[in-house]
Structure 1
Amino acid sequence: MPTTITGLALLLVLLLPGLTYAFVRERKGSERRLTPFRETGAVVFCSVLTELAALALFAVMRGLRPDLTPDVGRLIREGSTYARIHYVELAWWAGGLLLLACVFAALIAALIGGRPHSSATSAWWIMFEKWYPGENPIVGCTLEDGSYIEGQQASFNVSSDDSPDRDLVLVHPLKYRAPGATETHDLPWGMACISARRIVTMLVSYPPAPEQEGEAGAAQASAPAAS
């Protein structure tokens, strides 16, 4: 851990874009439990990559409009003397470049974090998000006591581990079939929470894809009418 203000500032500069990437990735994708080494490596790598990209844009602007940017050559040659004179300009540019690096990190996380590979996700993520993300499909669950419950998926645990210690939330319209019964009936409730530990089989019904609907409509239109 840093013991000086300068060291703490450098640590924040190094880690802030990577932490932004980690936060956005957790919100957009499946939650993965990485080892501390891999998590730290991903944060540091993303920070370095995005900060280099921000510095590259600064170098381009420095070449195009040197009058609008700090004189890096003088800063290197004169050091603290130049920094004391132009500290306001340097602070604004440093903060702006750090913010730009964080924006780059958030964009990277939004682009690649929302579609994780199937090998890094759970079966629930594949069923609910891989094929038709955001559709909130109809889900039917057969429970260990033989009962059956059905409803629209409202929320599920996005952990990449297929753990029994998580829940699935279904909302109206809810249907239920008691153990040993043959018919389902509507439930007068608006929401149900089912423990993954009690689920034996899960069935998911998605709406038909638009191209399939178009093909079906074209087939019906081209079919000859029955006489």
Structure 2
Amino acid sequence: MEEALPVPTTLTGLLLFIVLLLPGLAYATIRDRRSAERRLSAFKETGSVVFASVISELFILGIFAITRASWPENTPDVGRLIREGADYAQDHYASLSLWAIGLLVLATLLASFVAWRAPSVPHESIMSAWWLIFERFHRDSDLYVGCVLEDGSFIQGRLASYNKSSDDSPDREIVLVGPLQYRPAGSTDSVEYPAGAVCLSARKMLAMFVSYLDPDLAEVEGEEEERQATSAA
């Protein structure tokens, strides 16, 4: 059974906890918003957060070391802080606090920037079949999805949203927007359904068909259909 991270019970422990995890949490949050949902174990998720924090903080500390060597009079004396400890900290608590907060903010910004610029495409072996057909192939296309439901009916529309979980779970939904085409069970003719959007459950689907259309071509066709409808009116 996986255990959660222990919560610090002292002020010093809490501060160290924040310093250690804040950049990594920022990295993980932005990474998760930009990529498909992946369910990692608590150990792997904690490891990625700590690793991102340590790497970003070491990089910022390296920059601080260069700054310290170039302008020693304007930066905290780390040597004296180590030798004198609390005495030096008490005499220079204001500058030490500002530098500590500034370095932590820089490390967090660095981790956030890396997460924002990092490739958001995971390896296809860990992703769901939905992600493969919607994201892996022709990512710049307009997607038109047709679904055969368990009662034999068929509904088609433009993809608006879908559950990006990496698990092929039946408890997922897909949202299609108009124009919606609907064909009742046993019929061979499709009709335009009078609704702007529809939400379908994966549990009720038997098959899914996806068409990849060029966005510019789809826009031209839409304008042509609108002109024809206006002329007919």
**TM-score (structure 1 length as normaliser):** 0.86
SS at match of 1:173: strand
Residue type of the alignment partner of 1:63: A
Hey, which bits of structure 1, 4+ residues long, moved more than 4 A?
A: none
SS at match of 1:137: strand
**Structure 1 residue ranges without an equivalent (≥5):** 211-227
Give the stretch that moved more between structures: 88-97 or 158-167: 88-97
Residue type of the alignment partner of 1:89: S
Q: 2:65 aligns with which of 34, 39, 59?
A: 59
CA contact (8 A) 2:27 2:52 kept: yes
1:141-220 matches, cutoff 5 A: 141-208=147-214
**CA distance, structure 1, for counterparts of residue 142 and residue 41 of structure 2:** 32
Residue type of the alignment partner of 1:124: W
Q: 2:94 aligns with which of 84, 88, 94?
A: 88
**Structure 2 residue ranges without an equivalent (≥5):** 1-6, 217-233
Give the equivalent residue in structure 1 for 2:230. Answer: none
SS at match of 1:2: coil
SS at match of 1:146: coil
1:6-17 matches, cutoff 5 A: 6-17=12-23
Residue type of the alignment partner of 2:114: I
Alignment length (residue pairs): 210
After superposition, what is the alpha-carbon deviation per residue over 1:111-160, rounded to whole angstroms, capped at 9, x for unaligned?
Answer: 33621111121111122222344655211111121111111111111110
Root-mean-square deviation over aligned CA pairs: 1.8
Residue type of the alignment partner of 2:125: S
SS at match of 1:70: coil
Identity fraction in percent: 53
Q: Give the direction of change, closer, same or farther, for the CA distance of 1:164–1:29 in structure 2 (3 Å limit).
A: same
CA contact (8 A) 1:25 1:113 kept: no
Give the equivalent residue in structure 2 for 1:24. Answer: 30
Give the equivalent residue in structure 2 for 1:5. Answer: 11
Give the stretch that moved more between structures: 38-47 or 187-196: 38-47
